Amino acid sequence: MWERTLRDGTRIPAIGIGTFGSDRYSASDVAAGVETALQVGYRLVDCAAIYGNEDAVGRTLTSAFSGGMARDEVFVMSKVWNDHHAPDRVRVSVEQSLTDLQLDHLDACFIHWPFPNTHGQHARVEDRDPDARPYVHPDFMRSWAALEDLVDEGLVRHAGLSNVTVPKLKLILPECRIQPSLAEMEHHPTLQQGELFQHLVDHDIQVVGYSPLGSPSRPERDRTEDDVADMDSPAVIEIAERRGISRAQVCVAWAINRGAVPIPFSVKEHQLRELYEATSVRLTPGEMNALRGSDRNNRLVKGHVFLWEGADSWLDLWDVDGTIPGWQGYAS
């Protein structure tokens, strides 16, 4: 199976298992899915405090390690949620994740979103948080510095960014004492984010791609009539039919061949095996070029619930005009 090499030489798997069960799966369902994934061969597990299942996943990991799987075989990642951006709360979040996951260190930890707010996993779009704020650079850098301290202490091995944009990166990277090793971004054939992807590659930051299948089980709050289904992309269909593989395998293989680490989610053994087998699919330059033409700037995880008072639309979260709206007007 392909691997990736981080800036310090650490080698990580080229595919992982996600644990965001949305509203459809219980914590025990997700934990059982992780158990199956480990049996199939996955060795990267992407977690987050907000998913509400790290304690269940932790029991699964502990069982696997006690059964003979070495801890250093599994790359375990978690994330700091939006209500824990204050430096002291960053530590609280990481320590709680370590307790729940029953680990003495996280292989990677990300700041989940660059926006502070108090919304939980099941927030509705109409529940605008009065305390939500746009990206405020000095505040974010204090959060990042707190994560850097945890790297110094060994509680976190690699620090990561998530859901950032190129304008934000241009502010963040010059001020980092410890450069991010990884960055999570929505990444599938109809949302390729070429400029962001290349900016991360140019700065030796490994891309981790969430929603690699186009997030068919995403919450209702993130669905709009303009959404495009990746599985219906003509290039995906043509490659799948010609190669005799599934459309989902084409999407995962595209991400891997591009250089990302996709983190699909499933609790079903046959799907987990199918997606894992996509690591052996080597797409041709012609196929990669055809899939490049599938890009529709089709963002599926829009982040509506994180909007602050006065924001016009979810597009404000993503700096669509190349500027960062709002933050200069907020005291840090």
**pLDDT tens for residues 229-271?**
899 999 999 999 999 999 999 999 999 999 999 999 999 999 9
Would you say residue 279 lies in a domain? Answer: yes
Q: For residue 129, what pLDDT is reported?
A: 81
Q: How far apart, in whole angstroms, are the C-alpha atoms of residue 217 and residue 23?
A: 9
Would you say residue 330 lies in a domain? Answer: no
**pLDDT tens for residues 169-224?**
999 999 999 999 999 999 999 999 999 999 999 999 999 999 999 977 666 666 67
Going by pLDDT thresholds of 50, 70 and 90, the confidence category of residue 125 is low
Would you say residue 332 lies in a domain? Answer: no
Torsion sign, CA atoms 93, 94, 99, 102: positive
Is a pLDDT exceeding 90 seen at residue 24? no
Tokens encoding 327: 């933050």
Among 100-109, 155-164, 303-312, whose mean pLDDT is lowest? 303-312
Q: How far apart, in whole angstroms, are the C-alpha atoms of residue 195 and residue 169?
A: 12
42 in catalytic set: no
Q: Which domain holds residue 201?
A: 3-325
% of the chain with per-residue pLDDT over 70: 94
State the greatest distance between any 2 C-alpha atoms of the chain, in Å, as a whole number.
Answer: 57
Would you say residue 160 lies in a domain? Answer: yes
Q: Which of 25, 51, 210, 276 is catalytic?
A: 51
Q: For residue 124, what pLDDT is reported?
A: 60
Would you say residue 331 lies in a domain? Answer: no
Q: Give the domain CATH number at 267.
A: 3.20.20.100
Tokens encoding 48: 């987050």
What CA dihedral angle connects 215, 217, 220 and 225, to 10 degrees?
50
Binding residues: 112
Would you say residue 316 lies in a domain? Answer: yes
Is a pLDDT exceeding 70 seen at residue 123? no
> How many domains does the chain contain in total?
1
* Angstrom distances, CA of residue 197 to CA of 13, 169, 181, 256: 19, 12, 14, 13
Q: For residue 215, what pLDDT is reported?
A: 72
Binding residues for substrate: 112
